Structure 1
Amino acid sequence: MANIKEVSKKYEGQILEFFKDLHMHPELSFKEFRTTQKIKDLLISLGIEIIDMGIETGVVGLLKGKYDGPTVALRADIDALPILEETDVEYKSTVDGVMHACGHDTHTTSLIGAALILSEIRDELHGNVKFIFQPAEEKNAGAKMLVEAGVMDDVDAIFGLHNHPDVPAGKMGVKLGGLMAAVDTIWIDVYGKGGHGGIPQKTIDPIVATSGVIQGIQTIVSRNISPIDSVVVSIGTIEGGTANNVICEHVHMSGTVRTFSKETREKMPEILSQKVEDIARGYGATGKVTYRFDLPAVINERDMYDLACQSVRDVYGDEGIFDPTPTTGGEDFSIFTEKKPGFFYWLGSGNPEKGCVNQWHSPKFKADTDCLMVGANVLAQTAVNYMLKCTK
């Protein structure tokens, strides 16, 4: 089998220019029309078949190897965020108020690099590669849409990556077990009895009850869930009241619940509802929880972890592997791995010397472009190694 790292050298300049162009022209979820066309044009030029999934944005391409074998999917997300860029890079966003603040341009470019590499060695491939350029990850919608359209029906395994500024550029974060948390959405309503702000004894104040609810749900961890487990309950919005001298009737909140354990995740609606109802009742108010399961956790299983470690070693040796700390941030890559086995890497994009230290969704976020070839090479090597594993 060809040496992936050697094959990729000729594409370094092309890959960097592709990245800069993407970064300068970011597009929001489900509006990635220019990005979609740019990806399509390049894949077609490589002789990669474009699969019609019935979607307006996003691209799915199929590269057929010379020999029979599994179909390996490689996935990248392509959308940007409604954030005004505040970096000093010369390829800064040209779209006012929109930037690649989560580094999806590094993911897309890494997958483009893998397509360039694998298309050159297609006559050595024992199987096929499906390239999934997914729209609308930031809305938690793109993966669900593609799965419903059947993108995983003929896939044997799927691999993906997400840049991380806490992982040094030049390395890949390879984690066994939970990497990113399940993320679910909650809405909490507290109902009271409105009235005059100067006559509170004639009311049931839902704002006071809400303050107790917010404090109380933070005791779920350690009092209802083991402190060794991982649960984060965050309230992101609070709406209630119309005037400073009026006690309102109703307070509405929204937030998220983040977990790693499937068992804990399944328990949370009941635990949260009981806690909210009981606390609200203590103030004479009524509490109600609406709970929506959104994204499962990203969990890397042992067999895929071993394959991932070997793939990084094959290109960069043991020193290319970084053992990262999991995050309770979410990723809809988990929607794909509900259907088929897979693995999710963290692509090292951090470099303090270049100012690549800010976290995702910051207006000052930037990735060290040295990560691009690492991502391309590891994705390509992983696809090859999975094929070889299946043909032994």
Structure 2
Amino acid sequence: MMAFTAEELIKIRRQLHQIPEIGMEEFETSAKLMAIIKSLPQTFLEIKTWKTAILVHVQGKNPSKTIGYRTDIDGLPVTEQTGLPYASKHAGRMHACGHDIHMTVALGILSHFAEVQPECNLTFLFQPSEEILSGGKQVYESGVMDEWMPDEIYAFHDNPQLPAGTIGCRLGTLFAGTCEIHATFTGKSGHAAYPHMANDMVVAGAQFVNQIQTIVSRNVDPIQAGVVTLGHFEAGTTGNVIAGKCQIDGTIRALTQVNNRLIQKRVEAIAKGVAQAFDCQLDLKLEQGGYYPVENNDQTTKAFIDFMQANPEVDFVETQPAMTGEDFGFLLSKIPGTMFWLGVDSPYSLHSEYLAPKEEAIFAGVKAMVAYIEHRQTEVFAAKY
């Protein structure tokens, strides 16, 4: 069997698009991927699984080093509204973040190197649960990658705002790190006419919300980026009852792990201060998991950008950082590597129920990454190590 053609990749993508599944429940997706992988020549391949993850190791001719390539495989709890003939068959589930595109590009790259043995080893990670539960962190910490641990690793995210097939990247941080905030303040409910006999958590919660707004404006270096958004505030049951409990939920976004930690510490200090000032109980959870900033390695990213800019078949653009989160940041905190954008040209944003990426991006992504890996392993990879 030859490497997948553009037409075959589009067919695969449409099959994957129809069967989106939530993180750590990607059973049908994983089975479909496994069937496709096993249809490839197996001469150079070894396969491992961990829960719904699949790892494929390609044995190189001179296996002193290993290049890694990661794709995510999960979907979102979104009801698709595209009207496409190959729309999701799973009610309330959709590949609204384009992971079907991600998987298909990975399969295209793998199909080439299953036919053409690489110089160095390659490790492909088909990773579950990027959207929730920090799947990359879970896979890494499980130890399943240890035997085939890459020396450097690459991944992309599709970008509806870029023309189809365009490669976008930058030195430094590509995506923000995230941390979820869950704060519950508990006081004492009571009658609206007798506030002295109650402990009003609407007032306590309001003070917390107001003080949180000072973190980025007064604690974060103004030339660096950070965002704290509190999107959920719930307290009370009716207008004439003082609320005895307030639940507030939000998110932190920062372009470096240092600033993410700084903001977390300030959130914690403010929450504790409000609890002390209002003599109430506090239950605070700050959940970062594996959603670290996607901080591209200087060495691998310079090599990647230099190659893409010099390749006449690639339309390359330098992009700005984005406040979106991606659990590839955890893997980059452990393994040097680079994440980039692949344009898919859609008027609808990631996570939209109307997202319909242009499929010509798939083969463009495959060609660009096959060429880069071949270049990196022979000309740059060997020279650097």
Same fold (TM over 0.5): yes
Amino acid at match of 1:189: T
1:60 partnered with 2:55: yes
CA RMSD of aligned residues (A): 2.2
The yes-or-no answer on 1:121 pairing with 2:100 is no
Aligned to 2:382: 391
Q: Secondary structure at the match of 2:220?
A: coil
For 1:194-205, list aligned pairs within 5 A.
Answer: 194-205=189-200
Displacement of 1:321 after TM fit?
A: 0.9
Note the 1:167-178 alignment, pairs <5 A: 167-178=162-173
Cα distance between partner residues in 1 of 2:208 and 2:173: 29
Q: 2:7 maps to which residue? A: 13
Q: Comparing 250-259 with 307-316, which one deviates more in the overlay? A: 307-316
Matched with 1:188 is: 183
1:146 deviates by 1.2
Structure 2: segments with no counterpart, 5+ residues = none
The answer as to whether partners of 2:188 and 2:199 remain within 8 angstroms in 1 is yes
Are 1:142 and 2:135 counterparts? yes
Aligned twin of 1:353: none
Q: What is the alpha-carbon distance in structure 2 between the residues aligned to residue 313 and residue 226 of structure 1?
A: 32
Contact 1:277 1:286 in 2 (8 A): no
Separation (CA, whole Å) in 2 of partners of 1:73 and 1:191: 48
Aligned residues: 376
How far apart are residue 94 of structure 1 and its match? 1.9
The residue number in structure 2 matching 1:4 is none
- Is 1:268 matched with 2:263? yes
Alignment partner, residue 309 of structure 1: 305
- Residue matched to 2:242: 247
Letter in 1 for 2:127: Q
1:39: Cα distance to partner? 1.4
1:336 pairs, out of 318, 323, 331, with: 331
Alignment pair present for 1:361 and 2:351: yes
Q: Does the 8 Å contact 1:167/1:347 carry over to 2?
A: yes
**1:30 paired residue number:** 24
Query: In structure 2, what residue type is equivalent to 1:14?
Result: E
* Separation in 2, partners of 1:22, 1:147: 25
Distance 1:46 1:310 in 2: 32
Counterpart of 2:135, as a letter, is G
Per-residue CA deviations over 1:86-132 (Å, capped at 9, x if unaligned) read 1132321122211100000000001011011222221xx21111111
Picking from 292, 308, 333, the partner of 1:296 is: 292
Sequence identity (%)? 30
The 3-state SS of whatever aligns with 1:233 is: strand
Alpha-carbon separation, structure 2, partners of 1:278 and 1:130: 48
Question: Given the alignment of the two structures, is residue 327 of structure 1 paired with residue 322 of structure 2, yes or no?
Answer: yes
Quote how far apart the aligned CAs of 1:158 are.
0.7
Give the TM-score, by structure 2 length. Answer: 0.90
TM superposition shift of 1:280: 5.3
Classify 1:11/1:359 alpha carbon distance in 2 versus 1 (closer, same or farther; 3 Å): same
Amino acid at match of 2:128: P
Q: In the alignment, residue 204 of structure 1 is paired with which amino acid?
A: N
Partner in structure 2 of residue 77 of structure 1: 72
CA deviation vs aligned residue, 1:305-332 (integer Å, no higher than 9, x gap)? 1221134246545x61112221111111
Which runs of 5 or more residues in structure 1 are unaligned?
A: 1-6, 351-355
User: Is 2:31 the partner of 1:41?
Assistant: no
Counterpart residue number, 1:163:
158
Please tell me whether the aligned partners of residues 200 and 242 of structure 2 are also in contact (alpha carbons under 8 angstroms).
yes
TM-score, length of structure 1 as denominator length? 0.89
Amino acid at match of 1:30: M
**Residues 1:133 and 2:129 aligned together:** no
SS at match of 1:16: helix
